Amino acid sequence: MTFLRTVTLSALTLFSLVSCKSIPSYSADYDRANKQISGIILNDEQAQLVGQHFVAAFNTMGTADFVKNAGQLYADHLYINDTLSQFSTKKELVKHFEGMNEHVSNVSVKLISATHTHDSAYIHWHMVYDFKMLGRMKTMSSYGISQIKINDEGLIIFQQDYWDPANGLYRSLPYVGNAYSLILPLKKNS
C-alpha cells in the first residue's frame, strides 16, 4: 500500500509539473469570448427551450444518435469550455463527442431550471451516467450549470460549463480517485 501511494504521489507530482507549462488561463479565454460573442437577447420561453433542447440531445449520449443530436445544437464556429476541454469549432467538438460517446452509457440528464440574463441562458442540470475506464464501469453523478448563447438560427455559439469534475468524475475513477484522496484528504469522498 505504501508503494502504491508513493508511485501515485510521484506520478501526480510529475503530472502537476508538466501541466504547469505556459498555458493561457481559460479565464482570459472565457472573458474574451464572453465579450466578443453576442447571442440573441433571450426571454423566459427561449431560455427554457434552450435548456430543453440541450438536455434532450445529451440524454442520447452513449447511443448511436448522440453525435448527430448534439452536433445539431452547435454552430460551425463557437466557444465552448466544458471544464475539461475547450473548443472553437464544431468539427473539433464533434470529434470530442465521438470519443466521449464510446465511454458512457445509461445517461440521464434532467433539466432543473433555465434562467437568462440578456443573451445568456443559464441551464441548471443533473447528469447521471455509467462511465467505462480501464475496463471498469462506474456510475457517475454530477450537477452543473451551462451558460449558453445562441445565434439567430438557434445554434449554440457560446457555452461555458460550470461543474465540479473532482467530485463529479475524478474521485470516482479507478486509481485517480485514490490519488485525489491523498491530495485532498479533508474533502469528504462518498
- Distance (Å, rounded) from C-alpha 92 to C-alpha 77? 10
User: What's the predicted TM-score (pTM) here?
Assistant: 0.77
pLDDT of residue 136: 79
Determine whether 40 is exposed, middle or buried from the number of CB atoms within 10 Å of its CB (0-12, 13-18, 19+): middle
24-183 fold: Nuclear Transport Factor 2; Chain: A, (3.10.450)
Beta-sheet pairing, 120-133 with 136-150? antiparallel
pLDDT of residue 164: 73
- Distance (Å, rounded) from C-alpha 42 to C-alpha 58? 22
Q: What is the mean pLDDT of each run of 10 residues along the chain (190 residues)?
A: 51 49 70 96 98 98 96 97 90 95 94 98 96 81 95 98 67 52 53
User: Which residues partner with 124 through β-bridges?
Assistant: 113, 145
pLDDT of residue 160: 97
pLDDT of residue 168: 45
- Distance (Å, rounded) from C-alpha 190 to C-alpha 178? 12
